[in-house]
A and B are shown apart, each in its own frame.
Chain A
Amino acid sequence: MSFYQEIGNILGLDWAHIAGGYSLVNYNGEAVYIEGVKKLLVISDTEIIVDTGKPRIRVSGEGLAIFSLEEKTMVVKGTINRTEEV
């Protein structure tokens, strides 16, 4: 069981419903960890847009760079000003 699934269970969330979605952790505005990445749509210094299925996640900030990119997850480093669904 993943860390997020454990939290989901504690919160009483329907994991079957949310398993196909995304999870996102913002580390003090200095890095963002995103789980459930399907495609990386846009990369720039100030904006990174990620396709996670239905919603897209936009990370806005300054000096953004991809720290790691795996098949389903990624970490963006830089000055994170905002994360939002688009």
Chain B
Amino acid sequence: MKTENKAKTRYGTRILIEGFNQTRLLNTLRGEGVACSCIDKLSPAKIYITVAQKDCNKTFAILKKLCYTYTVTASVSPRSFGRYLIAKAALLACIALFTVLYAFSYRFIWRIEITGAEKVETAAIERLLAENGIKRGTAKSGINFTALRSLVNAQDDVLETSVSFSGVTLKIEVTETIDAYTPPPPAVNGIFSRCDAVVTRINAESGTPLVQPGSRVFSGAKLIGAYRISAQDQTEIPVGAVGTVYGTVTFTDSFAFSLNQTVHVRTGKKRRRTEYTLFGLKIGAKERHGFAAYETETREIYAFQNWFIPLKMRQTVYYQVSESRIKYDLAERTQYFTDTATANRSIQAIGGELTVQTKLEQISQDGYILHVFTQAEMLIAQN
């Protein structure tokens, strides 16, 4: 029997060998006293082996003699392993430092988020907090929630406040008092029309109507004057104008369309790709989706905002699409565009009542223009 060749697996030279009859090769190496280890058979013609540094030359000679193709893919010696560790030491030190800094900074507030404040200025609340020693860099342990709530609640227009921590963020949610309804002040210059219309109704609570139902008015025309006529001498006495005016408004919408259209239809296949950025720098290689034609939906997630980590995640879903031609029916298209034109108008119309007229023009073999005329009674002026 040959001598025992127990391999040391930690250090050595990694060799990729190409060729068949690997069993013969391994037995030959073993027979020649070469210590092989970490043998990975990739395929019938490819095998990885690791041999000790001292056996390299002997291994290469055997491989040449047996006509194998080989490639040295890595060499790990105690010295190279040491160099590797030194190279990585800086990175490891940075990670350790970051971890320590993060753990330390987690004990403090680095962001103050105030929500729900509309009447009360956010800056005013921040000033108030700063005056009471609560600002960026304040230790979390030094904050008394009850005292903080009382402080903010004491402000005018603040009904209630809730306070919480989220990571390194101090969250203050303000609920403000609700004002009773106060009517708008009378218009001193009069009430003017917002659009071209035919007046249908006038409700003048104060002031003098300048138009009658049936009058055609243009946008900007004065409808109610800010004065009243003296019954004694017919002179104008200034008063604030208050009232509402309704009128019939006509809208025109035009749509050009073709009955033959190429549309992209999603096939159902999709790939989700996630990209990370740290300090605005992209991490990792560009990922590919492999679709020739596709649509995308992207969303950005700033997941660690509350933990003061500048890591952003950008997730993109690629949907594979295929082109297909659609032949539309003329009546269906006409109805579709008519509905589109009237959808918003019916919301503005008094009682939702609309008068709709359409005019269709053919401009090519498959091309049309549809004009939709919509009439509705609407509020055209108010104070």
Contact = CB atoms under 8 A, between A and B. Distances in A.
Most buried by A among B1, B43, B44: B1
Contacts of A42: 6-7, 9, 37
Interface string B182-201: 00000000000000000000
A82 interface: no
A45 B5 CA distance: 7
A69 B38 contact: no
Nearest to A47: B6
Contacts, number: 60
A40 B35 CA distance: 12
Given A65-B30, A69-B41, A71-B43, A43 B22 contact: no
Contact of A43 (B1, B5, B41): B5
Contacts of A46: 4
B27 interface: yes
Contacts of B22: 69
Contact of A66 (B1, B9, B27): B27
Interface string A34-56: 00000111111111000000000
Contact of B3 (A43, A45, A69): A45
Given A66-B23, A69-B23, A71-B41, A43 B30 contact: yes
Nearest to B27: A65
A40 to B, nearest CB: 4
A66 to B, nearest CB: 5
A85 interface: no
Contacts of A65: 27, 30
B3 to A, nearest CB: 7
Given A66-B23, A69-B23, A69-B26, A43 B39 contact: yes
A14 interface: no
Nearest to B9: A41
Interface string A42-86: 111111000000000000001101111111000000000000000
Interface in B1-44: 1-7, 9, 22-23, 26-27, 30, 35-41, 43-44
Contacts of B36: 40, 43
Given A65-B30, A71-B41, A71-B43, A43 B7 contact: yes
Nearest to A70: B41
Interface residues of A, number: 18
A62 B1 CA distance: 8
B26 A43 contact: yes
A53 B43 CA distance: 19
Contacts of B35: 44
A44 B23 contact: no
B39 A44 contact: no
B30 A45 contact: yes
A74 to B, nearest CB: 9
A45 B43 contact: no
B38 A44 contact: no
Most buried by B among A45, A46, A65: A45
B1 A45 contact: yes
A69 B47 CA distance: 10
Interface string A16-46: 0000000000000000000000011111111
Interface string B203-232: 000000000000000000000000000000
A45 B43 CA distance: 25
A39 B22 CA distance: 14
B33 to A, nearest CB: 10
B39 A45 contact: no
B7 to A, nearest CB: 5
Most buried by B among A43, A63, A68, A70: A43
Q: Which 9 A-B pairs have the closest CB atoms?
A: A40-B39, A44-B5, A44-B4, A45-B1, A66-B23, A65-B27, A69-B23, A42-B7, A44-B6
27 contacts: A40-B36, A40-B38, A40-B40, A40-B41, A41-B7, A41-B37, A41-B39, A42-B6, A42-B9, A42-B37, A43-B26, A43-B30, A43-B36, A43-B37, A44-B35, A45-B1, A45-B3, A45-B5, A45-B30, A47-B6, A65-B30, A66-B23, A66-B27, A69-B23, A70-B44, A71-B41, A71-B43
Given A39-B40, A66-B30, 5 more contacts: A41-B9, A42-B37, A43-B36, A44-B6, A70-B41
